[in-house]
Amino acid sequence: MQFALNEDQIAVRDMARAFAAEKIAPHALEWDEKKHFPVDVMREAAGLGIGGIYIKDDVGGSAMTRFDAALIFEALATGCPTTSAFISIHNMVSWMIDAYGNDTQRHTWLPKLCTMELIASYCLTEPGAGSDAAALRTRAVRDGDHYVLNGQKQFISGAGSTDLLVAMVRTGGDGPGGVSTVVVDGKTPGVSFGANERKMGWNAQPTRAVIFENARVPVANRLGEEGIGFKIAMAGLDGGRLNIAACSLGGAQSALDKALAYMRDRKAFGKRLDEFQALQFKIADMATELEAARTFLWRAAAALDRKDPDASMLCAMAKRFGTDVGFEVANQALQLHGGYGYLSEYGVEKIVRDLRVHQILEGTNEIMRLIVSRKLIEGAR
């Protein structure tokens, strides 16, 4: 039972928190405003072992746990949820290669992924296949030693600026059993990218469509056998859901900290804001919700580490609860700032914008409820 962190876990968390404070937080507002993708800073983070957190050490990974990752991503997100979230996606893709790739694939790609010399994108969603991911239509037709890819992926983080695309493609019939996973070089002829989407938040990482037009990809780039791609995608998302919940908690904690500092300095009706009981109760509730979500996240991460039969359900629960709580706490922190919270220079409105999408990506929170309810109903039969 994990109710306190050991010395190693505290050191990992504090290392990531210090990096976020020094290298990320001072630039987060500028990156958001200029839509700057901070690859150089992410590579610095990779130098601390953050580029391959739970990748095996024979290919340069840090060989840490999902629990460690949750601590790291929450800490990084105190500096910028968007940057932390992209590093999370990169780690998720790297893990898919580590877990399902053969020895040649692992040693070809993972050493450079762990240093973030190579950066990776996860390509599952399509214009007509979001929550119903098993309905994806991007087709990969075998032609000798290559697949010929045609189709389009949508809402792909980092697309156009990353080196590798791990794409779920249809090599067989309809449904999840017809899906395979291939690693695509981003410079492959026939691969192109849409315009950088104009978004509510997450501006410090590009989001584009990925378009395949007769793009030839070696069969040797397929992860595992044909037909297990949907399984690979879903396994990756279990950890991705934990990570995005952690990013929500880190962003929300930062927003709460900003609110507390503001309440200490701001006066109204002759008193500091933090002397009003109604506002004291508000911040107590916000902190309690965050602590409850954090405790749940730790439980789910520990379950995934030990391969608990209920791990997927717990990851879905933690994602739903953590991202809902994170957004609500950040939104309340903005409210506590009054009109100043709506100004970009205070940094709270950016956190609110960034955290809103966490309730949608890695599976919408409605889909998280579906995963949980199906597991419960199945267990009751």
Residue pointed to by tokens 């439980």: 299
Instruction: Count Cβ atoms below 10 Å from residue 254 Cβ, excluding itself.
Output: 23
* Burial (0-12, 13-18, 19+ Cβ within 10 Å), 168: buried
Phi/psi for 257 (5° steps) reads -60, -40
Cα–Cα dist 38/293, whole Å: 29
Helix (H) or strand (E) holding 229: helix 229-265
Residue 362: active-site member: yes
Cα 280 to Cα 104, 260, 262, 270, 286: the distances in Å are 58, 10, 13, 16, 10
319, 244 in Cβ contact below 8 A? yes
* Residue 197 DSSP symbol: P
* Identified catalytic residue from 126, 289, 328, 362: 362
361 Cβ contact list (under 8 Å, min separation 6): 155, 244
Catalytic residues: 362
